[in-house]
């Protein structure tokens, strides 16, 4: 179903699959890109969280309008945020 002007627009912070034994993990659902990026930084800063021993892991924020995936922003500690 195509997105309409009344479709919900959300930004989903995810820990994407990065190894063959993993599954995608949703970290949070946000109403704006800025809020999602803050949420990702807070999640990554947890000293005993999933990123404590994995500083090189990437994290994504995905923009969804209705059931359409529009954009993805990827965060890597070495390079920061990148759209694509």
Count of the separate structural domains present in the chain: 1
Whether residue 1 lies inside any domain: the answer is no
8 Å CB contact between 76 and 37: no
With respect to residue 38, please indicate whether it lies within any of the assigned structural domains. Answer: yes
**Per-residue pLDDT reduced to its tens digit, 14-70:** 988 888 888 888 999 999 999 999 999 888 887 776 666 677 788 999 999 988 999
Rounded Cα distance between 78 and 56, Å, is: 8
- Which residue segment(s) compose the domain that 58 sits in? 9-83
Distance CA 27, CA 59 (A): 9
Could you tell me if residue 41 is inside a domain? yes
pTM for the structure as a whole: 0.84
């Amino acid at each position: 179903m195509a997105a309409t002007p009344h479709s919900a627009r959300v930004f989903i912070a995810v820990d994407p699959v990065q190894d063959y034994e993993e599954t995608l993990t949703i970290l949070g659902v946000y109403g704006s890109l800025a809020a999602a990026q803050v949420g990702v930084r807070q999640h990554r800063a947890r000293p005993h969280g999933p990123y404590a021993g994995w500083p090189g892991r990437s994290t994504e924020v995905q923009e969804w309008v209705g059931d359409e995936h529009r954009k993805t922003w990827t965060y890597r500690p070495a390079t920061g945020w990148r759209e694509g």
